[in-house]
Amino acid sequence: MKPENLVDMLKKTVDRYGSKDAIMWKEDGEYRSMTYDEFWQEIRDTASGLARLGIKENDKVAILSNSNPVWGITDFAVASLGAISVPIYPTLPAGQVEFILNNADVRVAVVEDDEQLQKVVNNDLIDYTIIIYPSRADVLHDRVLSFADLEAKGKQHMLPYWEDEWKKIDRNQLATIIHTSGTTGKPKGVMLTHGNFLANIEAIQFWLIELLPDDIQLSYLPLSHVFERMAGHYMQFAVGTTVAYAESIDTIQENLQEIRPTVLTSVPRLFEKVYTKVLDEIETGSAIKKKVFNWAFEVGLERYERYVNTPVQDIIMQEAMPDDFRKKWKRADRLVYQKVKEKLGGRLRGMVSGGGTLNPEIAKFFWALDLPILEGYGLTETTPVVTTNPMLRAKAGTVGKVLPNLEVKIADDGEVLVRGPSVMQGYYNNPEATKAAFYGDWFRTGDIGELDEEDYLKIIDRKKRILVLSTGKNVAPQPIESAINESAYIEQSVILGDGQKIIITLINPDFETLQPWAEQQGIQARSLKELSKHPKVQELIEDEVRRLTESFANFERPKKVVVIGDVWSVDSGEITPKLSTRVKVIEKKYKDTIERSFREAEDNRREAVATVEH
């Protein structure tokens, strides 16, 4: 029997796997765990505490925190009251936090620590603030409680009919308001119901990768993002999987070894980094090591091609690989694949990529090394998954097939349109934006895409990002940027050129890789900017861009390479929390440099010349 709401979904799992670990987290240098039974009791205590503060149906509760056990507890506790959660990225500055609090009519805010408390404490609309990890007692008063105090209130005043009440919640009840990143204009609050999430869960399970109760997932993306909320939170708790929270994005390598996950969700940037690190180790290794790796890679690639081109029934009957090839593959697995997999914990049986486009060469790379990577596509407004590559037939270079309970069509101008039960209810308090987002009952994704002969979807770029050159040529920046980002020396790239005769690229170097290289070259620099100005660095980056864009048409190859000496980050505004670039912010910040670069490129359009931002 299908669950009626997200709390009902979780309760079914608790009844089946109550003594099994639900979540794991690092505390005092060690991973600790909480069973599903314990998780459920914490949710009930928290719900009772929130009800004691006056939270009721349709009230809004903000969660301003990094991923941790309390995030999930609060999320389900709020949902059980028929109230609405409003997740907020903890990296956002106070001004943006205030806008979201006001826009969503938030009554209570649950914040991680003193730093996040300062972003909400002066908001007059907030009745109460709950702090998860208070550093000192003097921050607590009548309107600021610790999370421990909230749970204590709940234990003392347990809701008597809590289970009866949450059972009345149906699929049409609003569950959350998630604000878009606001790369252009003010963020919009996307309204998603219990039914939106449940419809997505029901379509994904089995279609994507069959999650099992024995699986362990390492969660490192922020739960404020709908991709992790769905793929690393609700999906896992619907099945009975254990979710282990990484300490931070910087400790992923260490946490992979500690947790040894079986499944992993990530944005493309992590996979790009693993790809460049493996290739760098091979390139700097011995000639025999390189030869063995290249042989094994070709064997793995052949296996992937067999997998893609073999009928499903033959795959199921294990007839995709002849005996002689199977022996060769097992040898390659022993010599190469297992060593790479060990660096990722050694137990991964599937990885899911979302939140951005994955370079098809990188996808094939992982498949060749027996690390299945399944790319999907979606938006906050679609809760989020629209398409995904099924485990039985994943096609690199596409974002997969449309989920069975959704419909997709391509508009005359190439825009991807979606309709179905996981499409949002609209933007909160913004009827004009809601009306503009739909064409009849079809949601406008804002993405340009195409369906291949087997109905796999390929996303070309954001509709607004397509560059129209003065020559009349159209350029999609995303595939070019994705290719350039394969370089071990490049962290991020941005392609520009709308209205110009040519395109240029701004490069944010990967200084972790660049600095050791510079030392080997005898380059001395007192700052990153000074390092970026060095002629050898400029030549290196220029050569990398030229090498990685060779396969593109001439008009799609940057005629100017601009090396930026700043570190782009979420805090400084150039990068979104899901690690994609904020192009408008970057264009504004480097306006003078960009204009100068186009003038210089016009003087010599046939040669890409590296320069730096001064």
pLDDT of residue 148: 95
Same domain, yes or no, for 272 and 289? Answer: yes
pLDDT of residue 131: 96
Which region, left, alpha or beta, applies to residue 429 given φ > 0 means left and ψ of -120 to 50 means alpha?
left
CATH of the domain at 419: 3.40.50.12780
- Model confidence pLDDT, tens digit, residues 553-592: 888 999 999 999 999 988 888 888 777 888 889 999 999 9
In a domain, 536, yes or no: yes
Rounded distance between C-alpha atoms, residue 526 and residue 267, angstroms: 33
Looking at 447, 463, 479, the residue that finishes a domain is 463
- For 611, the 3-state DSSP assignment is strand
Query: Does 399 score more than 70 pLDDT?
Result: yes
From first CA to last CA, the distance across the chain in angstroms is 63
Amino acid at 119: K
Task: Measure Cα distances from 416 to 127, 374, 387, 580 in Å.
Answer: 42, 20, 11, 20
Looking at 116, 135, 169, the residue that finishes a domain is 169
In a domain, 142, yes or no: yes
CATH of the domain at 128: 3.40.50.980
**Pick from 508, 485, 484, 489: nearest CA to 564:** 508
Query: Does 211 score more than 60 pLDDT?
Result: yes
The secondary structure element, H or E, covering residue 460 is strand 457-462
Residue 319: band (very low, low, confident or very high) from pLDDT cuts 50, 70, 90: low
Residue 611: band (very low, low, confident or very high) from pLDDT cuts 50, 70, 90: low
Same domain, yes or no, for 530 and 427? Answer: no
In a domain, 205, yes or no: no
| Residue-averaged pLDDT of the chain | 91
Q: Give the phi and the psi of residue 366 in degrees, each rounded to 5.
A: -70, -40
CATH of the domain at 588: 3.30.300.30
Rounded distance between C-alpha atoms, residue 11 and residue 251, angstroms: 32
In a domain, 305, yes or no: yes
Same domain, yes or no, for 442 and 499? Answer: no
Rounded distance between C-alpha atoms, residue 271 and residue 265, angstroms: 10
In a domain, 226, yes or no: no
Task: Measure Cα distances from 34 to 149, 239, 250 in Å.
Answer: 20, 16, 24
Rounded distance between C-alpha atoms, residue 527 and residue 73, angstroms: 44
Same domain, yes or no, for 387 and 504? Answer: no
In a domain, 43, yes or no: yes
The residue with greater pLDDT, 439 or 463, is 439
Query: Does 471 score more than 60 pLDDT?
Result: yes
Same domain, yes or no, for 452 and 475? Answer: no
Same domain, yes or no, for 61 and 72? Answer: yes
Rounded distance between C-alpha atoms, residue 287 and residue 271, angstroms: 25
Q: Which domain holds residue 602?
A: 466-612
Cis peptide before 577 (omega within 30 of 0): no
In a domain, 112, yes or no: yes
H helices of 456-548, where? 477-484, 511-520, 528-533, 535-548
CB distance 17 to 213 below 8 Å: yes
**Strands 490-496 and 474-475, sheet pairing:** unpaired
Residue 314: band (very low, low, confident or very high) from pLDDT cuts 50, 70, 90: confident
**Pick from 116, 119, 109, 94: nearest CA to 59:** 109
Contacts of 146 (CB under 8 A, 6+ apart): 130, 131, 132, 134, 140
Same domain, yes or no, for 439 and 303? Answer: yes
Query: Does 94 score more than 50 pLDDT?
Result: yes
Task: Measure Cα distances from 138 to 53, 134, 135, 146 in Å.
Answer: 21, 9, 9, 11
Same domain, yes or no, for 309 and 421? Answer: yes
In a domain, 236, yes or no: no
Amino acid at 84: I
Overall domain count for the chain? 3
Residue 506: band (very low, low, confident or very high) from pLDDT cuts 50, 70, 90: very high
Rounded distance between C-alpha atoms, residue 319 and residue 401, angstroms: 24
**Pick from 436, 357, 411: nearest CA to 185:** 436
The residue with greater pLDDT, 357 or 258, is 258
pLDDT of residue 100: 95
Same domain, yes or no, for 524 and 446? Answer: no
Same domain, yes or no, for 49 and 159? Answer: yes
Which residue, chain included where needed, has tokens 């997505």?
A: 200
Looking at 437, 463, 489, the residue that finishes a domain is 463
Same domain, yes or no, for 292 and 440? Answer: yes
Which of 141-155, 202-216, 595-609 is predicted least confidently?
595-609
Q: Give the phi and the psi of residue 265 in degrees, each rounded to 5.
A: -110, 140
Same domain, yes or no, for 520 and 391? Answer: no
- Model confidence pLDDT, tens digit, residues 221-243: 999 999 999 999 999 999 999 99
CB distance 364 to 301 below 8 Å: yes
Residue 608: band (very low, low, confident or very high) from pLDDT cuts 50, 70, 90: very low
Rounded distance between C-alpha atoms, residue 538 and residue 240, angstroms: 51
